Amino acid sequence: MDLNSEAVSKITVPAILDRKLRGEKITCLTAYDYPTARLVDEAGMDIILVGDSLAQVVLGYDSTVPVTVDEMLHHLKAVRRATRRALLVADLPYGAYHLGRAESLRSSIRFVKEGGAEAVKLEGGRKRARLVAALVQAEIPVMGHIGLTPQSLHAMGGYRVQGKTLDSATELLADAQALEDAGAFALVLEGIPRELAALVTRRLRIPTIGIGAGPECDGQVLVIHDLLGMSFTPPAKFVRRYADLAEVTRQAVERFRDDVLAGNFPGDRESYHWPAGLREQFEKDVTRRG
């Protein structure tokens, strides 16, 4: 796909909804900086998510809980500058929508006005339905996120697959329905059995985007560092590594180190030169001046 041509067809919220009607899969990856977002956009991803996974994969926090609105915004702006085609979604971090509607609107409006986001994502089901409706009323498209919601780490007592009992599966279906009714345009289903994800996907009119939720979802999302082999924790069961960039990076850095230590870098090809004759002129001049 040549995304440098002028004929780049922008992915919009209605275009994402249309995908479900047509039975076409939706592709989504996270990005947190300019070069990654450019490559992801140019490769033709439908959605770029500036996820709060930023906290762990880029900023080195232990969980997604500590990352702030300002930190998210800083990275969102870089991704915005790189993104031409994909729909740009920004994750509301923990604490950005927990103190009430006004604060949630403020965080979201900052993402849209200052960061250039075209939609926001937030975690939680029925308890967020009124908030989702308020954001939609404020012209901000919302992507829901249910199942294993990493911001509820402490409440869940760890990262555990959700919806494995009849009761919890019923709750999750009710959450999904409530978010659709509140006006969410898509729903991330994370860490749930594929049978449950398939059922939710069939029941909803809005598309489901799965991560650890099996192949029947309308789309799939991964954290780009997992896909590229650039994360330092063992990958979750649902991750497929398409590259080992950590190893490629390590080897490149070690070769650079060895070349510098051995005096092999820079070589003549990596050096600038005086124009012909300047050296003799300079030496003569230095000698004359004493």
Using the rule CB under 6 A, is 52 a contact of ligand KIV?
Answer: yes
Using the rule CB under 6 A, is 175 a contact of ligand KIV?
Answer: no
Distance CA 27, CA 149 (A): 20
Specify the residue, 134 or 146, whose C-beta has the smaller distance to ligand KIV. 146
From the candidates 71, 190, 195, 254, which is the catalytic residue? 190
The residue within the footprint of ligand KIV, chosen from 211, 217, 227, 230 (CB under 6 A), is: 211
Specify the residue, 120 or 178, whose C-beta has the smaller distance to ligand KIV. 120
Contact region for ligand KIV (CB under 6 A) — 46-54, 109-117, 166-174, 254-262?
A: 46-54
Distance CA 106, CA 241 (A): 37
Specify the residue, 8 or 68, whose C-beta has the smaller distance to ligand KIV. 68
* Residue of this chain nearest to ligand KIV (CB atom): 51
Between helix 166-182 and helix 129-137 the angle, nearest 10°, is 20
**What is the DSSP annotation of 55-104?**
HHHTT--SSSTT--HHHHHHHHHHHHHH-SSSEEEEEPPTTSSSS-HHHH
Looking only at residues 13 through 32 of this chain, which bind ligand KIV when binding is defined by CB under 6 A?
Answer: 30
Q: What number of chain residues touch ligand KIV (CB under 6 A)?
A: 11
Locate 101 and state its tokens: 């509607």
Locate 16 and state its tokens: 């994402």
The residue within the footprint of ligand KIV, chosen from 42, 46, 91, 180 (CB under 6 A), is: 91
**Catalytic site residue 190?**
yes
Using the rule CB under 6 A, is 223 a contact of ligand KIV?
Answer: yes
Query: CA angle, 26 as apex, 176 and 1 as ends, to 5°?
Result: 165
Using the rule CB under 6 A, is 221 a contact of ligand KIV?
Answer: yes
Looking only at residues 101 through 120 of this chain, which bind ligand KIV when binding is defined by CB under 6 A?
Answer: none
Measured from the Cβ of residue 129, the count of other Cβ atoms closer than 10 Å reads 20
Using the rule CB under 6 A, is 135 a contact of ligand KIV?
Answer: no
Closest CA to 218 of 15, 11, 18, 25: 25
Residues for the chain: how many in total?
A: 290
Question: Which SS3 state, helix, strand or coil, does residue 48 take?
Answer: strand
Using the rule CB under 6 A, is 212 a contact of ligand KIV?
Answer: no
Residues known to be catalytic: 190
Site residues, ligand KIV (CB under 6 A)? 30, 49, 51-53, 91, 145, 188, 211, 221, 223
